[in-house]
A and B are shown apart, each in its own frame.
Chain A
Amino acid sequence: MTEKEITDFIYREAYLLDSMQWDAWLDLFHPEGRYWMPLEWQQEDPVLQPSLMYEDLLLLKVRIERLSGERTFSQKPKSRCHHLLQAPQIMASDTGAGLYKARTSYIYTETRGDTLERFSGWASHELVRLGDSIRIKLKRIDLINFDAPFSNIQLFM
């Protein structure tokens, strides 16, 4: 996996989210992939320490299903999102193990009706190859203010 492949993958992921191509976004995940939003600074354990989200593919599919539900009242009107990414930084490139890590600083914006919420943080990707494609083993979202009381966050950073 070249550096360009990794960065292109991360930009494409953000594009799929911003254009609300949810199923195509889900296809980026490895079958054992996880989406994790820690609730502690430099958190190490997603299971026995509290997190905002720690979701496998089944749970992510529930979220996607929900977004298009006829009776999903909190999505009337539908939320939109915008990712502003800094160039990803390659953190690890282990060809032997087939594991690649990148860290991307971002500003994320999500709408809910007339209101607009803005979040800052870092996205950490752990990527692997599956056949010809690159897949997400772990996407970790560290907000700078993970411990602040937010209102609804319904889409994906």
Chain B
Amino acid sequence: MGPYRNSAPAIRALVREAEVHRDVYVDPEIFELELEHLFPNSWIYIGHASQLSKPGDFITANIGRQPVLASRHSDGSIRVFYNRCPHKGVKIASEACGNTGKFFRCPYHAWSFKTDGSLLAIPLKKGYEGTGLSEMQASEGLPKIRNVVVYRDFIFARLNDSGVSFEDYFGESLSTIDNMVDRSPQGELAIQAAPIRYMHTCNWKMLVENQTDTCHPMVAHESSAGAAVKVWKREQGASTEAPMAVQLYAPFMSPYEFYEQSGIRIWPNGHGHTGVSNSIHSNYSDVDGYPDQMIAAYGEARAHEILAQVRHNTVYFPNVMVKGAVQILRNFIPVAVDRTLVESWVFRLVGAPDKLYERALMYNRFINAPTSIVGHDDLEMYERAQEGLRSDGNRWVNLRRLFEPGEESDVTAVINGTSERQMRNQFHAWAKFMSADMENSAEAAE
């Protein structure tokens, strides 16, 4: 056992006001404790209700490393369980999604479960007569996750029975999800395809921090976005309007002043977003017919209000990023202390022109895919950081840009867009949700 287990003070000492200890990225015990404490104490994204359109539809996911299963029950409700048979622990569903019909059936011994998780039948049931099975947890069926909230079709779950409520946890940060949903003239999003998956040999938090790191694009992406700008200048000839592809790449090369002015908003519990007043998504060409659809659906004033919100990246602590303006959700799934699976999902704005879906799909493969040149730049930085942090010459990572002494935590504020305050905000939340139930378990043991 290392120094951190059951030691909230040792955990908190890793996070200083504007520095974090490298152990948060490289220490295997810290990673184990994140899976045991941070993820179960937090509200974690499971999936989208459009993936569960019919009764019997299911999706699988992980909270930390724990496999979970969400299903659409026959009464129309969405249920979430641990994805393990109460008998021998076999995963009930192994595919990412599917339809199980009227019941789930374990492939090992054919125990079966209704789509609300309750035990339906066991073969040769007389073998359990008088054994006391009915008093055991196994008789309850698939272990239920009680704290589940479906917010505008986004399914979130908190594994631990006690903790911060969904409303208190996310608060005003839900406005980014609202804006993404409102961008559909029908107020509805749909997942229509599998995500792009991308494996990173680095700690998951590096990816989350990078979402609000506005001082890296013009440096790290000079090779990709910079090359796109350069090649377009050379090739454009008489063309005046840049093609969609160049419109997506070019804003990454915006100068520091652009990011400074566009602002960052932070919220309590580690959430925050870049692109408050405008963003790299502000100047895409209009899509024919879409503004009129929005005005018809919402009225002129409201439609303009919705479309004027072009937030860049919104971090939903701990491990999700949402882009309302291009309908993307990136899920940073921890696999090991130095291994992270990224799943990038694209939503279709139901009722909106195909061109918007085309653009979102293009953005997704341009920016975060194994075949994305922007992704190539980022992954290189994360991997070098994961290696560089082995150095004993300095054990701290610096997060001091635009730090102000006496800075408050767990507040809502709009600040200079090049601040590292959202990263500080995330680490404050990290220490809080890492240690929240450590203290309780320590007290209970006394």
Contacts and interface: CB of A to CB of B under 8 A. Distances in A.
Contact of B365 (A53, A61, A149): A53
A42 interface: no
B291 to A, nearest CB: 21
B227 A69 contact: yes
A47 interface: yes
A14 B226 CA distance: 28
Contact of A37 (B361, B371, B380): B371
A37 B379 CA distance: 21
A58 B379 contact: no
B230 to A, nearest CB: 6
A151 B371 contact: no
Given A50-B346, A58-B245, A73-B223, A153 B232 contact: no
Contacts of A69: 222-223, 226-227
B228 interface: yes
Nearest to B375: A152
Interface string A46-74: 01111111101011011101100101111
B373 interface: yes
B200 interface: yes
Candidate in B222, B224, B228, B373 with the most chain A CB atoms within 10 angstroms: B373
Contacts of B375: 152
B194 A150 contact: no
A58 B379 CA distance: 24
A66 B227 contact: yes
Nearest to B361: A50
B243 A58 contact: yes
B376 A40 contact: no
B376 A154 contact: yes
Contacts of B365: 50-54
A65 B227 contact: yes
B231 A49 contact: no
Interface in B331-361: 341-342, 346, 354, 357-358, 361
Nearest to B199: A149
Contacts of B98: none
B200 A151 contact: yes
Interface string B178-208: 0000000000000001111111110000000
B370 interface: yes
Overall SS of chain B's interface:
helix
Contacts of A50: 193-196, 346, 361, 364-365
A147 interface: yes
B194 A72 contact: no
Interface residues of A, number: 33
A40 B228 CA distance: 27
Contacts of B36: none
A66 B196 contact: no
B198 A59 contact: no
A40 B380 contact: no
A149 B199 CA distance: 5
Interface in A58-102: 58-59, 61-63, 65-66, 69, 71-75
A39 interface: yes
Nearest to B197: A149
A48 B353 CA distance: 11
B153 interface: no
A11 B20 CA distance: 53
Contact of A62 (B193, B195, B228, B369): B228
Nearest to A147: B194
B26 interface: no
A61, A73, A148, A149 pick with most chain B CB within 10 angstroms = A149
Contacts of A152: 370, 375-376, 379-380
A52 B193 contact: no
Task: Please provide the 7 A-B residue pairs with the shortest distance between their CB atoms, ordered closest to farther.
Answer: A149-B197, A74-B380, A150-B370, A72-B223, A149-B199, A65-B227, A66-B227
Given A50-B361, A61-B231, 19 more contacts: A48-B357, A50-B196, A50-B364, A50-B365, A58-B232, A58-B245, A61-B235, A62-B231, A62-B373, A66-B224, A71-B222, A73-B377, A73-B380, A73-B381, A147-B194, A147-B197, A149-B370, A151-B198, A151-B200
18 contacts: A47-B361, A49-B193, A50-B194, A50-B195, A52-B196, A52-B371, A62-B231, A63-B373, A65-B227, A66-B373, A69-B226, A71-B223, A71-B226, A74-B379, A148-B197, A150-B370, A152-B380, A154-B373
Interface of A: 37, 39-40, 47-54, 56, 58-59, 61-63, 65-66, 69, 71-75, 147-154
